[in-house]
Amino acid sequence: MSTSIFGFLTSLIIAFIATPYVKKLAVKVGAVDAPNQRKVHTRIMPRMGGLAIYLGYMVAFFLFVPFAEKTEMLGIFIGSTIVMLVGMLDDKYQLSPKWKLLGQLLATVIVVVPFGLKIGVVNLPYSGSLDFGSGWLLWLAVPITMFWIVGVTNAVNLIDGLDGLSAGVSAIATATMAIVALLMDEYNVAIYCCVLLGAILGFLYFNFHPARLFMGDTGSLFLGFNLAALSIMGFKEALFVSFIIPIVVLGVPLWDTFFAIVRRIVNKKPISSPDKGHLHHCLLNMGLSHRSTVLVIYTISLFFGTMAILLTKTTKWTTLIVMVALLIAIHLGTEIVGLVSRRHRPLINIYRRLKVKMSERRSHP
């Protein structure tokens, strides 16, 4: 436990001290974010702040993380360093999506192939288990793992639209993973999470509304990659609930990304086309302030995190019931805020029809 605390404090202090210097560097090299019709900020802001997160994380990683005992952690460090560098180049030069994707794939291949990080055994309720480490399933382990890592990396990148949003959500997810790792006796994973958490919080002081700089793709790609890889390393070979926990922990970015894809399909737009229909945009359109929108999404993230922690102690049937309830709540929330479309509200429309029929029955007994 003391290693986790010292690692947390070290990364927090270094990230806190480094952030103002990173801000000056971003301005000097021209890594700035100009406002446009899709963005909420109204003035030019320095980005590349994720470099401060990385510096705090890097120092604490080599001082406290037992990567010699668990070589997968060294793979995650190397992979996250690559995506951080890709993010820095994007913050400076605005790379095309294909080059960003290529960098993510390179980092993912490194952590999966030579360092062996991939999905392991998934124990399904009342249906036996799926062992992705042997047999024909071995061929699926690598592509599924790569799809998950790249998908989560971009999901975290997509929610980086308001001051402190991506950093705060990532901090909540990281803290949740640390707690769950301790509950599952994955102490090395918990240490890694604490190191990462400290670096995020040291930067978040400067990034919360009104932000003094943005983390940019330097930070969002780095955090997304770490969260994706940690979710596999920490929970890859346990009970059925371990298959569910990473999905619940990363509920906000996965929810926002999934319905962004659905929204673009419904509106007959390319999946990769940017828009102003993300969760934070919808909450702003409902009249919430910048700060209130971020705090509401923090609350949703805390709810998902709490559910993930509780799921570690539930039975299989309880897990299934909770997941069904969560899916219904997510879909209802999606309809309320208009995440897909103001017209696409099947659950609300069913409720309204039932309400009308009940009203008619009362008036005509």
Burial class (CB in 10 A: 0-12, 13-18, 19+), 104: buried
Any alpha helices (H) in 184-215, and if so which ranges? Answer: 187-207
CA 125 distance to own-chain centroid: 26
Q: Are the C-beta atoms of residues 91 and 113 closer than 8 Å to each other?
A: no
Q: Beta partners for 130?
A: 122
Burial class (CB in 10 A: 0-12, 13-18, 19+), 302: middle
Q: Which residue has tokens 């910048």?
A: 290
157 annotated binding-site participant: yes
Q: Are the C-beta atoms of residues 209 and 291 closer than 8 Å to each other?
A: yes
Contacts of 303 (CB under 8 A, 6+ apart): none
Query: What are the structure tokens assigned to 355, written together?
Result: 């309400």
217 annotated binding-site participant: yes
CA distance from start to end of the chain: 67
Backbone φ and ψ for 49, nearest 5 degrees, come out as: -65, -20
Q: Are the C-beta atoms of residues 236 and 222 closer than 8 Å to each other?
A: no
284: amino acid identity, one letter:
L
CA distance 190 to 174: 9
Query: What are the structure tokens assigned to 193, written together?
Result: 């999470």
Annotated binding site for Mg(2+): 157, 217
Annotated binding site: 157, 217
